[in-house]
Structure 1
Amino acid sequence: MADSKERLASSLLELKKYQEQNNTGVVRGSSTLGRTHLQRLVENGWLEPVMKGWYIPSSPEDVGTTSVWYANYWNFIVEYCNSRYGDDWSLTAEESLTIHSGNMVVPTQIVIRSTKATNNVVELKYGHSLLEISTSPASEVAFDPIYGIRLYGIAEALMFSSPNYFKSDPVNARANLASLENSAQIIRLASVNGNSSRVGRIIGALKNIGRDNIADEVLKFMQRLGYDIRVEDPFDNIVKVSASQSPYVSRIRLLWEKMRGQILSMNLNLSRIDLKDKDSVLRSMETNYVKDAYHSLSIEGYRVTESLIERVRSGAWNPDAEDTDRRNALAARGYYQAFMRLQKSMATCLEGDKFDLESELNEWHYELFDPCVQAGIISPADLIGYRTMQVYIKGSKHTPLPVNAVNSSIGALCEMIEEEKDGFIKAVLGHFFFVYIHPYMDGNGRTARFLMNMLLCSSGYSWIVVPVERRNEYMQSL
């Protein structure tokens, strides 16, 4: 007779088969797995109920936390809506623009348009809800590339967004306007729908961000069709935005400018160090190494001591120790190697030599995990370039950018760092947006703190150690 472990293994195997056959982890009803398997998986923490008859994949250590819900939120929304409305649904125009711009933060309430809706609120987990509105969805559906969310296309979403949207969410609105390829996308919709006020608003919005050529083409064409167009700028202020095929890049650039102003308004009076004494700057880095390594690794969940860090630095470490100690030792050794590489990067920067920031970021990241390569735990190929899979941040409503947006976004971030004149701003925002993009499968936090401190020290500010005791506050601020 099978014991409890074997029975659980059998249920997990059934769940695995279901996920592979249906390309989703969301489970609907007991008939999909069978009542016995379903109950066993829920009782052991491998499935978590969302609402009656609906479950999402979990793990025993995450039971009762928001992490599982945030990681599965969009998958659940798509599966639930496809099951209930079929092909007759989409998000609203405004929410579509939010997704198109790369803002995948889990909303408190999601609004669904469908002719099959009944104008009700569906309560979900942790205070979230779904509001279904009985109305027509997008006429030409665009699909989110990660989850398959049914959206308005960018041009249609801009056309049918409420006038207030441009004031309430100007960053996302401008990011999407900047991603329009040409005037044809707007003209095609405008000529069919023929709403003069909507067209005038889009023309005014395009002029606001500096895309006068597209705006003028739309205006001339609509006037040719006999429409009386009154141009209206829907924004509160003028912000020029460079045209970009990637709304993700546009959004990051717009957020940089917005946050830059917020930092400047704080009027911080920060002490500076003398950059002429380059050796002193490098010695200061060396002095901070043990303390920095301890706190940075502890923030990431490693159990390290200052003694272990010193042994690793001196070479008196044992990579073949017990599993737990080995993991900590490999992480500490990787941190040391990356720190040494960072010192070389800093020396190059202080000398004023040519410096390729994106290349250096990849070098620091490689060194973090080189001991794992040497130990045969991972392949060198795993560390080449940026991630090739979607990642999630435990406990965060933010979903990092999709794989196809990482390269262009990191490139743009490095350009912004180079263009920024204020050293403190480039350090703070460089750290923030690096984590926002999350370009690697692992090691993003450590690399981001290396980036922050290199930018601080190379601009005449002191090295900052983020204490593990303030981890929650630090994570919340990100």
Structure 2
Amino acid sequence: MNSSRGKPKGNPTLVAALKTLKRLQEKHDGVVEASDLKDDEQRILLVETGFLRPVMKGWYICSSPSDNDADTTAWYASFWAFVSGYLGKRFGKRYCLNPEASLMLHTGNTTVPRQVTCVTIDSGTSKVDLPFNTSLLVYPDKNRVPNARVEVRGLQAWPVAEALCLVGPSFFVNNPREAEIALATVRHASELLPTLLAGDKMVTAAGRLAAAFEFVKRPDEAEHIQKAFAKLKITLKLVNPFELAEPTITPSKERSPYVLRLRSMWAGWRQDVIDVFPPAPGIKQQAADYLAQVQERYVSDAYNSLSIEGYRVTDELIERVASGDWNPDGDSQHNRTRDALAARGYYQAFQAVKESIGKVLAKNNAGLVAKRDHHEWYAELFGASVTAGIVEASQLTGYRRGPIFIRNSMHTPLPSDALLDSLETLWDLIETEPEASVRAVLGHHLFVFIHPYFDGNGRIGRFLMNTLLASGGYPWTVIRMSRRDVYMKALEAASVQGQIKPLAEFIAQEMNEWSPERETKNNAKG
């Protein structure tokens, strides 16, 4: 934390600066250019107090005063908004992301990339170095900027069909999930033909895409491409660009890239979970005995529970600064109150989850139980905070209605307009999955991956995990605070690197390692 940050008391200058920043934050998604802040004194004050963080000369992002220099959260949360703002300011619409980056955006990839490549109509070549080893590569090539560009997340991009024709075979090897999703969003092969028939250089691409359609079980599209070239007396050589053993998306009319991604992740990961997780023991105990063991673990589970919070300038914050009731280093009394309410809410939610587990033990479908009951868990989790006036009651009525981010993660949770379809897909996948281990591991991860609430996603995700573990007779599993870093790295490996095994292995280890005696000893050490 910057040493220059003090504790303002009713600071009217900071209040005015925060009001300006709030307007800019809402207008530009947390990205601020120096020229947007007409008052240099406000800009300097916001940087000194930690509400603004420099990105490059003349550009800033909104940040938290509690962030240190190594905290990546604000940058990852603002990455795409910054790229959009910077490119728009510098080039207007006279640019386009390259085909690879275009497809990553179209297919709902949620990972912040290390480098984005942008092609311009007229400019020099440059590499813009950005925070935390990210960068923007810009080079001119008017022939690689299409006339019919589309806007995705405020960025100029190639249409899906054209981009698929232009990416090389390595894209299908390095990004198979995105390649499958892109193919699934193409309704008919005729969308590809204007690009594929444009010149001799596209014959290889045509053979590659025809083979790709055959691989994903859409032979009619493969045949359509071959017949179009046959009319020109060209016989295509079909070379499957995928290295997957089998496709992870079955043909359907679904076009949402987020829904397709969830289905692909589930199909592509389920065998990995089965391979590393112990076989389900089955429900052998009486429900009362199982629930008694669940209750035995309550204290340990509550002690180890963690939350992940985001940060934005709000009207409440501005009011606290205006009244002098704000401390950049944190308010110990406020934190104690919040923690006490969180503990009470956790207890009430835990009891609600136990009731849901009772339904599962009575052989009700675990996915249906969780689908129907998870809102009740959430309401109980924050009920005490609503009563105390800390949380608005409206926040308990549904899912978040805006963006959110996960601290220090390169994964960006799904946009709010994708939540309902994505959650409906997740419940369907859980309901129809025959293996309890897969239900629990993938159900937990994908719920957190979606991040449907503004707060409490991790706690609800672990409640979901344990409800689904119960469906296979597995014991209630405590994720220990002492292994928090391992847990977070495993979640990140799944969300960013597409590797689910570390998380499945971690949960299996936690399930086998817990005991009341060991946990009492660990807590005493803490």
TM-score bracket, normalised by the shorter chain, equals: 0.7 to 0.9
Q: Residue 316 of structure 1 corresponds to which residue in structure 2?
A: none
**Runs of 4 or more off by more than 6 Å in structure 1?**
none
String of CA shifts for 1:358-377, please: whole Å, max 9, x gaps.
22222222221222333444
The farther-off stretch of 207-216 and 271-280 is 271-280
Q: Which secondary structure state, in structure 2, belongs to the residue aligned with residue 210 of structure 1?
A: coil
Q: Residue 511 of structure 2 corresponds to which residue in structure 1?
A: none
Q: Which amino acid aligns with 2:19?
A: L
Contact in 1 for aligned 2:361/2:470 (Cα 8 Å): no
Structure 2: distance between partners of 1:367 and 1:233: 51
Contact in 1 for aligned 2:307/2:456 (Cα 8 Å): no
User: How far 1:328 sits from its partner (Å)?
Assistant: 2.1
Counterparts in 2 of 1:160 and 1:340: CA distance versus 1, 3 Å = same
The farther-off stretch of 128-137 and 286-295 is 128-137
5 Å matches for 1:227-376?
227-236=234-243, 237-239=245-247, 241-242=249-250, 243=252, 244-266=254-276, 268-269=277-278, 272=281, 274-296=283-305, 298-299=306-307, 323-353=334-364, 355-376=368-389
Contact in 1 for aligned 2:248/2:267 (Cα 8 Å): no
Structure 2: distance between partners of 1:375 and 1:40: 33
User: How far 1:462 sits from its partner (Å)?
Assistant: 1.5
Structure 2: distance between partners of 1:206 and 1:118: 38
Counterparts in 2 of 1:214 and 1:46: CA distance versus 1, 3 Å = same
Q: Residue 519 of structure 2 corresponds to which residue in structure 1?
A: none
User: How far 1:391 sits from its partner (Å)?
Assistant: 1.1
Structure 1 gap segments, 5+ residues each: 302-321
- The alignment status of 1:70 with 2:83, answered yes or no, reads no
Counterparts in 2 of 1:117 and 1:360: CA distance versus 1, 3 Å = farther
Structure 2: distance between partners of 1:257 and 1:376: 43
Counterparts in 2 of 1:41 and 1:374: CA distance versus 1, 3 Å = closer
The farther-off stretch of 346-355 and 438-447 is 346-355
String of CA shifts for 1:168-219, please: whole Å, max 9, x gaps.
1111111121122233322344345672222221121111111223333333
String of CA shifts for 1:422-475, please: whole Å, max 9, x gaps.
222221111111111111111110010011111112202121101112222211
User: How far 1:140 sits from its partner (Å)?
Assistant: 2.4
5 Å matches for 1:187-202?
187-192=193-198, 195-202=202-209
The farther-off stretch of 252-261 and 166-175 is 252-261
Q: Residue 308 of structure 1 corresponds to which residue in structure 2?
A: none
Q: Which amino acid aligns with 1:365?
A: Y
- The alignment status of 1:111 with 2:117, answered yes or no, reads yes
Q: Which amino acid aligns with 2:353?
A: L
Counterparts in 2 of 1:24 and 1:392: CA distance versus 1, 3 Å = closer
Contact in 2 for aligned 1:97/1:157 (Cα 8 Å): yes
Q: Which secondary structure state, in structure 1, belongs to the residue aligned with residue 128 of structure 2?
A: strand
- The alignment status of 1:219 with 2:219, answered yes or no, reads no
Q: Which secondary structure state, in structure 1, belongs to the residue aligned with residue 297 of structure 2?
A: helix
User: How far 1:400 sits from its partner (Å)?
Assistant: 0.5
String of CA shifts for 1:77-106, please: whole Å, max 9, x gaps.
111111222212222211222222221211
Structure 2: distance between partners of 1:82 and 1:402: 22
Contact in 2 for aligned 1:273/1:462 (Cα 8 Å): no
Q: Residue 317 of structure 1 corresponds to which residue in structure 2?
A: none
- The alignment status of 1:446 with 2:459, answered yes or no, reads yes
Structure 2: distance between partners of 1:31 and 1:452: 46
Q: RCO (CA 8 Å, sep 6+): is it higher in 1 or 2?
A: 2
Counterparts in 2 of 1:323 and 1:49: CA distance versus 1, 3 Å = closer
User: How far 1:14 sits from its partner (Å)?
Assistant: 3.4
String of CA shifts for 1:29-72, please: whole Å, max 9, x gaps.
35742333222222221211111222112231124121111111
Q: Residue 151 of structure 2 corresponds to which residue in structure 1?
A: 143
Structure 2: distance between partners of 1:73 and 1:210: 36
